[in-house]
Amino acid sequence: MALPTFTLRQLVEAGCHFGHNTRRWNPKMASYLYGVRDNVHIIDLRQTVAMLYRAMQTIRSITAGGGRVLFVGTKRQAQEPVAASAKRCGQYYVNHRWLGGMLTNWKTISQSIRRLREMDAQLAAGMVGFTKKEILDLTRERDKLERALGGIRDMGGQPDILFIIDTLKEGLAVQEANKLGLPVVAVIDSNSDPDGVTYPVPGNDDSIRAIKLYCELASDAVLDGLQAEMTAAGVDVGAMAEPVIPELLPPVESKGPLETARYEE
């Protein structure tokens, strides 16, 4: 397996170039924008190609060294792709509410995970001698903890890098990662704040198709890193194909004021 490749056309077909209405933008994103179409900011995908590939290389390198990746995306359209992609590559995820201290107060989070395991054991044992109400209450408590912590219950400690969809929604996750010095890969839309993001990926963070594409590419990068780790350890995983690096187009030169620029597919 080799680091996955992708094309600018794939990004366009997934709608990755569509930002938000021009009234909802963050001026810090100006350098990542190509222009405006129908009062909607258009993201410069030629920059996205290069920055997404760099992010994938980083994820691959970290997992090849034995590192762990935490996928984060709690908005409705990100929940399923985030969980599915993390599970596919054997990594970890948070796809419901981010609990304060998930990174910075791991001791408390670990206690909650231990409580979750205890409840699983109780329910698996049949709850003999408990009333129906007690069983129902315990099941509800267990399900609530599973939604919040199920994706990190086996993480065993802090991750080595975060992959985030929507930094506005996941601002607390970015803050905690920054506090601990953990690198952050994040998709940043036209209304996002790129500050605190180590490896920004300019792109639409609302489209389900776009989110699935980002998550799948990140998952593939993890799998390639894990394969490289096994190869380095002497595990025979078969012949590995050479990665084909996509053409990294240079950032587009300024077309003048954003209000008059056009995006040509």
Residues 187 and 227 in one domain: yes
pLDDT at 232: 84
CB 248 within 8 A of CB 45: no
CA angle 80, 81, 84 (to 5 degrees): 80
Residues 94 and 176 in one domain: yes
CB 101 within 8 A of CB 108: yes
CB 44 within 8 A of CB 32: yes
Rg (CA), the chain: 21
State the total domains in the chain: 2
Residues 28 and 132 in one domain: no
Residues 87 and 170 in one domain: yes
Cα separation, 242 vs 224, whole angstroms? 11
pLDDT at 128: 79
CATH number at residue 132: 1.10.287
Residues 81 and 171 in one domain: yes
Between helices 132-149 and 106-124, what is the axis angle to 10°?
140
Residue with tokens 């594409």: 213
Tens-level pLDDT at each residue, the chain (265 residues): 578 789 999 999 999 999 999 999 999 999 999 999 999 999 999 999 999 999 999 999 999 999 999 999 999 999 999 999 999 999 999 999 999 999 999 999 999 999 999 999 988 888 778 888 988 999 999 999 999 999 999 999 999 999 999 999 999 999 999 999 999 999 999 999 999 999 999 999 999 999 999 999 999 999 999 999 888 877 765 544 444 444 444 444 433 333 333 333 3
Query: What is the token pair recorded at 79?
Result: 């929940």
Amino acid at 97: R
Cα separation, 45 vs 190, whole angstroms? 12
Query: What is the token pair recorded at 24?
Result: 């909802």
What's the full length of the chain, in residues? Answer: 265
Residues 132 and 50 in one domain: no
Q: Which domain holds residue 218?
A: 8-99+158-233
Residues 86 and 22 in one domain: yes
Residues 62 and 116 in one domain: no
